[in-house]
Amino acid sequence: MAPPRARESTGSTLAPPPSFTPRPRARVAQPAGLRPAPNATQFPFRNLLRLPARVFYPPSLQAEAAAEKVGSATRTELREVQLADVLAGKYLSPLSLKDFEGHLVFRERSCENLYFILWLNEYQKEWNTYQAANPTQRGPHSAVHLPANLYTSLQAGLEAFFAPNARLELNLSSTTRDKTLVEAAQSGSPSDFRDARDVVEMSLQRSLSAHKKAAIANAGGRRLALCACMGMFMFLLGFVPALVAIFGDLARGIRVIGLPFIALGAALVSMAPRRICFAVWALGSDRQLLPWEMKAPSVTSGTLVALTCPSTPRSKSPSADEEHDLGDEWEEDDRSFATATSATPYPWENEKVGSPSSPTFSQTASFPPHSPTLGSSRPLRRDSAAPSSYTPKGDYSQLNGSIPAWAPVCQVYAPEVQREHWKIVRQGFLIGAVTAVVLGAVLLAVPNA
């Protein structure tokens, strides 16, 4: 006999009625502060079925991310990418703030410029809040009269970016550095950093231009060389039917067999100098991981400079410790698309180092007494190592080598970069078609031997 079904309770209860509304799934696109993750399937051959449509139709201008939260969905041209928008985290990978930071850390060795601007922007916000709350305090006054949070942040910024031989010392003239040190130490006004900010922003503009050019590449030098060699092989292979027909006194129609090989080979060869591997593009809108993206994280998530004042509430932006949760399947949309204001390059993420012989963080990264790191809201873990290759002005050779030919690939989310890839591929096929037509006419006109 089956047990009787429980009757539904009709009486009143203090508990609210249960809600069966499912939580929204997180979108596929990664937030701007996450490090790229390799695709689960490195060779999705099913994408080849969509290849004709991808060649003839440009990528959609509507990104799969939330347009109201990610400004990258509103852009159409790579040249329109602005520094202020990158600093605000409005672009997707490989144009995100995290990607730009990796470019500065591992390619240009000038991450101090980015950290200074991010710190100064936060200091400016706190200064404006203080001035709005204390209108009677406006005007010239001594920095010692500032609130504790502003004064601590000011001293930390001066020691980190302007002190001689500081870990994040800016590349400024002695006149600009001394002038900023004197004026800012006296008044604490953000306007005292105007000269230094102009110089640093000019440097960041040049760095962003170089980063945008580098972001177009979807493969490393070895893979591009392999692609060019494959294209040249197919190009030469296309002449074999024509030569066989000419010297074998065969029908002229046989010469046409090699024209598709000539067209495809010319297309591949034309794409390689523009840093596009057609094989990577054909299997999806992907790119190969960079050397520092493939390196396993080995240092703490503590930053070199605190971007918020010590006593201010913690930012809603996710820390590196929390970033691994952002891609979870059932994360809320608000959190899954949080744009992280990053001050932690790729390797400075959360992982313990088990080797007892590894130097501790305090041994390899000794900060001055008033270091900005000491004011960070994220405590440092003493059981992690900080190799010199991960620190500013250190040895980056281990993480800045060439990309292996068969390195894993990750998704390209920025529609600006996707559109540039499509333009290069389309132009490559146009070059291949023109080459095949011209050479085909010549080969067909040659009489048989």
DSSP string for residues in 273-325: GGT--HHHHHTSSEEEPPHHHHSPP-S-S--SS-SS-TTSPPPSSPPHHHHTT
Q: Is the pTM of this model over 0.75?
A: no
User: In this model, does residue 256 exceed pLDDT 60?
Assistant: yes
Q: What are φ and ψ of residue 28, in 5° steps? A: -75, -35
Question: Nearest-5° angle of CA 444, CA 446, CA 449?
Answer: 125
User: In this model, does residue 51 exceed pLDDT 50?
Assistant: yes
8-state DSSP, 247: H
Q: How many residues does the chain have?
A: 449
Q: How far apart are CA 105 and CA 171, in angstroms?
A: 15
For the chain, the farthest-separated pair of C-alpha atoms sits apart, in whole angstroms, at 101
8-state DSSP, 359: P
- Do residues 263 and 432 lie in contact, with contact meaning Cβ atoms separated by under 8 Å? yes
pLDDT of residue 357: 35
What would the mean pLDDT of 31-36 be, rounded to a whole number? 50
Residue 110 three-state SS: coil
Q: What are φ and ψ of residue 409, in 5° steps? A: -115, 155
Percent of the chain with pLDDT over 70: 61
* Residue ranges in 57-140 assigned as alpha helix (H): 83-87, 97-103, 111-133
- Do residues 348 and 302 lie in contact, with contact meaning Cβ atoms separated by under 8 Å? yes
What would the mean pLDDT of 176-203 be, rounded to a whole number? 92
Least confident range from 58-72, 194-208, 306-320, 349-363: namely 349-363
Query: What is the set of domains in the chain, with CATH numbers?
Result: 45-79+219-291+402-445 (no CATH), 110-216 (1.10.167.10)
Q: What is the C-alpha R_g of the chain? A: 28
Q: How far apart are CA 388 and CA 407, in angstroms?
A: 25
Q: Residues 318-361: pLDDT tens digits? A: 333 333 333 333 333 333 223 334 444 433 333 333 333 333 32
Q: How far apart are CA 261 and CA 435, in angstroms?
A: 11
Residue 99 three-state SS: helix
8-state DSSP, 182: H
User: In this model, does residue 387 exceed pLDDT 50?
Assistant: no
pLDDT category at 405 given cuts 50, 70, 90 is: confident
Whether a cis peptide bond, with omega within 30° of 0, leads into 94 is yes
Task: Please return the burial class of 126, using the count of CB atoms within 10 Å of its CB with bins 0-12, 13-18 and 19+.
Answer: buried
pLDDT of residue 340: 38
Question: Nearest-5° angle of CA 12, CA 17, CA 20?
Answer: 155
Helices H, strands E: what count in the chain? 16, 2
Least confident range from 135-144, 273-282, 433-442: namely 135-144
Q: What are φ and ψ of residue 279, in 5° steps? A: -65, -40
| Helix (H) or strand (E) run with residue 409 in it | strand 409-411
Higher-pLDDT residue of 289 and 372 is 289
pLDDT of residue 335: 32
What would the mean pLDDT of 64-77 be, rounded to a whole number? 46
pLDDT of residue 36: 64
Q: Which of 72-76, 129-133, 434-438 has the highest mean pLDDT?
A: 434-438
Higher-pLDDT residue of 139 and 50 is 50
